[in-house]
Amino acid sequence: MNMNKSLQDFEKVIRECVKCGVCQAHCPAYLVGRKEGAVARGKISLAAALLDGEIQLDEQLQKDISMCLMCGSCMNKCPNKVPTHEIVGAIRREITQKQGLSLIGKGVSTLLGSQPLMKTLSKGGALLSPLVLKKVPESSGLRLRFPTPLMKDRTLPQIALKNLFDRVPEYIEGRPSKPVVGFFAGCSISYAYPEIGEQMVRILKSMGFSIYLPRKQNCCGIPALSSGDGALVEQLAENNVKIFSEREVDFIITACASCNGGIGEYYQTMQKDYSEFTGKVVDFSVFLEKQGLFEQLAEMERWKQPTRVTYHDPCHLKTQGITAAPRAFLKALPNVDFVEMDAADSCCGLGGTFSVYHYDESKAIGARKVAGLIESGATQIATACPGCIMQLQDIINHAGLKIKAVHILELLTEALEQ
């Protein structure tokens, strides 16, 4: 059974696109290149032509289809709610089925499909990074000494030597009266930013929850979805659902917007019924707000010199309407002076593997946020997605700004430790 939807499954909604062009003003890929093939209605026209047999999966079509971050911004503004990002995913899977994965796609799939390999490369990267990376002056990132041709001058976070699974137990017993919370950490938190995972676990533990962090959880599948590897997405979905069913949990918390979009949103669109699993998935900010944490924070004494912080909306939360809870979180923190920035909801430009294939365009998309960031006067930009943190810090580094990209949980931890 093919659990991912095919292009044919989208035929009805493809025909509902009226080519009105509303999507143009909201498509990050179009705004930096101004090419019709990049905008949603252009891709829908290509999809319709494919269905009608008018065109083939040629080089130009593949180039146009690759110019999509699958951010969902177009669907949010579309009067008929045509899910262009899902349709693009279906076309990419069709390309892969007929022509195979690209070299980069093969690398991504090999890594994501093997947790032991991911652990090995993570540890190796941590040991070797001081040799091949150098500090960017007055920033928290690193710049490659030997830039890769694909991502010249990409700045990266310091790789952690110990991953999240080496830092916290698989199961922590909480108070009997409290629910059992499953924690889906995801690749970025598990290997690149394990301190975020530790902070999430520490906060849940302090609130009395039992916590299940299964060692065998895999990637959510978003990078594989982006590269067109439908078979791997199915494999990862099956494994994640199975692993989290091995212990009874009441909620499955994510602290990564992309993971929430993967296991909570994308799994719902698959042909197999994963509703028992997806119905438990909840973003950490939504969960903590419902548990009354925001009210407790608001009662804490305000800091005399709070940090001025602004917020970036991750696309995978924005498209689900999760925009108020993160802001309410920041406003409740006693150590934060929250200020809204212009273009807070514009895409940062990461887009899964998009920034690997199209790094220059990725940088240009992200650079659209710089003016609003400067105007806000913030010294930190908070978000709820580790991928966005990496991309935002790269944008900040290239702009030469003394601003740090952080996860909301880092600010919460700072407040609670005082």
Does the residue 382 lie in any domain? yes
Residue 363 neighbours by CB distance under 10 Å = 20
What pLDDT is recorded for position 418?
A: 72
Domain end point (choices 67, 100, 133): 100
Report helix, strand or coil for 219: coil
**Dihedral of the alpha carbons of 348, 225, 59, 50, in degrees to the nearest 10:** -110
* Residue that finishes a domain, picked among 100, 118, 150: 100
Instruction: Please tell me the distance from the alpha carbon of residue 314 to that of residue 321, in angstroms, as a whole number.
Output: 11
- One-letter amino acid at 334 equals P
Does residue 288 sit within a domain?
Answer: no
Predicted local distance difference test score (pLDDT) of residue 135: 62
Rounded Cα distance between 358 and 152, Å, is 11
Write out the two tokens for 169: 């137990």
Q: Is residue 176 part of a domain?
A: no
Q: Is residue 325 part of a domain?
A: yes
By residue range, what is the domain housing residue 90? 7-100
pLDDT tens over the chain, length 418 residues: 579 999 999 999 999 988 888 888 888 888 887 777 678 888 999 999 999 999 888 888 888 898 899 998 888 888 899 999 999 999 999 999 988 877 777 776 676 666 766 666 665 555 545 555 566 655 555 555 544 555 667 887 777 789 999 999 999 999 999 999 999 999 999 999 999 999 999 999 999 999 999 999 999 999 999 989 999 999 999 999 999 999 999 999 999 999 999 999 999 999 999 999 999 999 999 999 999 999 999 999 999 999 999 999 999 999 999 999 999 999 999 999 999 999 999 999 998 788 888 888 999 999 999 999 999 999 999 999 999 999 999 999 999 999 999 999 999 999 998 7
Of 58, 75, 100, which residue is a domain's last? Answer: 100
Measured CA to CA, the distance from residue 306 to residue 361 in angstroms comes to 35
In a domain, 363, yes or no: yes
Largest distance between two CA atoms of the chain: 66
User: Domain for residue 202, yes or no?
Assistant: no
Identify the pLDDT of residue 77: 84
**Number of domains within the chain:** 2
What's the predicted TM-score (pTM) here? 0.91
Separation of alpha carbons 285 and 323, rounded Å: 10
- Token couple for 315: 């696309």
Residue at 113 is within a domain: no
**CATH of residue 346:** 3.40.50
Look at residue 23 and tell me if it is in a domain.
yes
Query: How high is the pLDDT of residue 352?
Result: 79
Residue 61: CATH number of its domain: 1.10.1060.10
